[in-house]
Amino acid sequence: MTKRPETLAAQALHQTDHETGAVIPPIHPATTYMRDENNALVGDMDYRRPKGPTEVQAARVLARLENAADARLFSSGLAAISAVLDTLEIGAHVVAQTEMYYGAKKLLHHLAAKGLISLSFFDPHDMAGLEKAVHKGRTELVWIETPANPSWAVVDIARAAEIAHAAGAILGVDSTCAPPCTTRALDLGADLVMHSATKYLNGHSDVLMGAVATKTSDERWEKLCTGHGLSGAVPGAFDSWLMMRGLRTLFVRFERQSENALKVAQALSQHDAVSHVLYPGLNSHPGHAIAARQMTNGFGGLLSIRLKGGADAARKLCASTEVFLQATSIGGVESLIEHRKPIEGPSSPTPDDLVRLSCGIEAADDLIEDLMLALKRL
């Protein structure tokens, strides 16, 4: 029978241990692998850079969930993005969003400042802007993030793929905020899909990891795999094993986080101190219709609010919640709150009155009560 994605994830593809019958695969921390009397490798593995058995098992589960030809794991999400950018020709034209994860944008500017790439940006709310930003025969990579940090602009992946491909470029998607339990970017036309596995895929705020999965095992993928070994930006075996354990509960975690975020968004929409609630699951969100099409199993746990009281109110709110911990990062089982602008720095376009919320799996009523009490104290 053809197993559904929920089953594949929960069972982590049933990669059991044949030697002992253990239902969970063992962790393989070995850095090196034996050769026989003919100097031939005993198994498939050689050395743990770029990959050992545990990393391969974890990547296999992710590849299956993304409907990918192959996937590789990296030491962080940023290392995964670097690996994609490292496949580009020197001076390649890259098109990205004005609004995106600020660390990735910094990396793009860093490479552009060294002359390694040239950059154009488009407003993620405006697909006509993307069409104008790409140049046929010149643009090599269109890089999108959806929903995009921190106002959760939704980009139409299928449309972005058409635009990229018509220009002869590839489409890469940072799908960190729309994991494969809700969006399969490759099925929608992307060529590469990337995750900060630090977030939803692992889901417990205890592993730093990145991943890239590919639609086809083509020449670019070969380059990326070569770069993986050369850069050495590989994760540890234990981290890979933890990420694979995280993937087993991805569907239920994401479902609960989506439910919680929707309830929180609805409750905050009613509040006098709040000027905007930015959540793709709300009808009022500009990207709602596209999100409803391409996020088939929930809109996720991430939302932002803007406060009428400005930066002062944002600072105070984040300092006075009790259930929401004031910390950076997203996608974990515990809820986090953050005044975003000071984290992103002065060059960031994020408004200073914006507070980012990552809803975990706690009781929705506790999350709402916590925010209501903190808002009362402003």
- Residues with active-site annotation: 49, 101, 174, 199
Q: Which structure tokens are listed for 246?
A: 């995280």
Cis status of the peptide bond prior to 147, with omega within 30 of 0: yes
Out of 146, 196, 321, 358, the only residue in the binding site for ligand PLP (CB under 6 A) is 196
Work out whether 234 is an interface residue with ligand PLP (CB under 6 A): no
What's the chain's length in residues? 378
| 166: helix, strand or coil | helix
Choose between 80 and 307: whose C-beta lies nearer to ligand PLP. Answer: 80
Q: How far is the CB of 104 from ligand PLP (least distance, A)?
A: 5
Q: Does 199 bind ligand PLP (CB under 6 A)?
A: yes
Nearer to ligand PLP, 25 or 332 (CB): 332
Does 210 participate in binding ligand PLP (rule CB under 6 A)? Answer: yes
Kindly tell me which residue out of 103, 129, 229, 342 binds ligand PLP, with binding defined by CB under 6 A.
103
Smallest separation, CB 360 to ligand PLP (Å)? 15
Question: Which residue is closest to ligand PLP by CB?
Answer: 77
Contact 281, 291 (CB under 8 A): yes
Number of H helices, E strands in the chain: 13, 12
Placement of tokens 């009560």 in the chain: 369
Instruction: Find the shortest distance in angstroms from Cβ 348 to ligand PLP.
Output: 14
Q: Decide: 207 and 198 in contact? Cβ < 8 Å.
A: yes
Task: Answer positive or negative: Cα dihedral of 87, 91, 92, 98.
Answer: positive
Put residue 93 in one of left, alpha, beta given phi > 0 → left and psi -120 to 50 → alpha.
beta
The span from the CA of 369 to the CA of 87, in Å, is 48
369 secondary structure, DSSP code: H
Cβ proximity to ligand PLP: between 25 and 300 the closer is 300
Q: Are strands 192-196 and 170-174 parallel, antiparallel or unpaired?
A: parallel
- Measured from the Cβ of residue 217, the count of other Cβ atoms closer than 10 Å reads 12
Residue 177 binds to ligand PLP (criterion: CB under 6 A): yes
| Identity at 149, one-letter amino acid code | N
Determine if 190 is a binding residue for ligand PLP (CB under 6 A): no
Q: How far is the CB of 300 from ligand PLP (least distance, A)?
A: 11
Please identify, using beta-carbon distances, which residue of 179 and 281 lies nearer to ligand PLP.
179
Q: How far is the CB of 199 from ligand PLP (least distance, A)?
A: 6
Per-position x/- string for 39-78, each x denoting binding to ligand PLP as judged by CB under 6 A, each - no binding: -------------------------------------xxx
Cβ contact 75:235 at 8 Å: yes
| Closest CB to ligand PLP among residues 25, 172 | 172
Of 210 and 227, the one with the shorter C-beta distance to ligand PLP is 210
Query: Is residue 98 at the binding interface for ligand PLP, with CB under 6 A as the rule?
Result: no
SS3 117: strand
Query: Restricting to residues 106-165, which ones interact with ligand PLP according to CB under 6 A?
Result: 145, 149
Separation of alpha carbons 342 and 51, rounded Å: 37
Taking Cα atoms as reference points, which of 108, 70, 106 lies closest to residue 212?
70
Site size toward ligand PLP (CB under 6 A) is 17
CB nearer to ligand PLP: pick between 39 and 347: 347
Neighbours of 327 (CB within 10 A): 14
Among 63, 95, 101, 105, binds ligand PLP (CB under 6 A): 101
Query: What residue type is assigned to position 122 of the chain?
Result: F
Pick from 83, 104, 117, 359 the residue near ligand PLP by CB under 6 A: 104
Q: How far is the CB of 201 from ligand PLP (least distance, A)?
A: 10
Binding site for ligand PLP (CB under 6 A): 76-78, 101, 103-104, 145, 149, 174, 176-177, 196, 198-199, 208, 210, 330
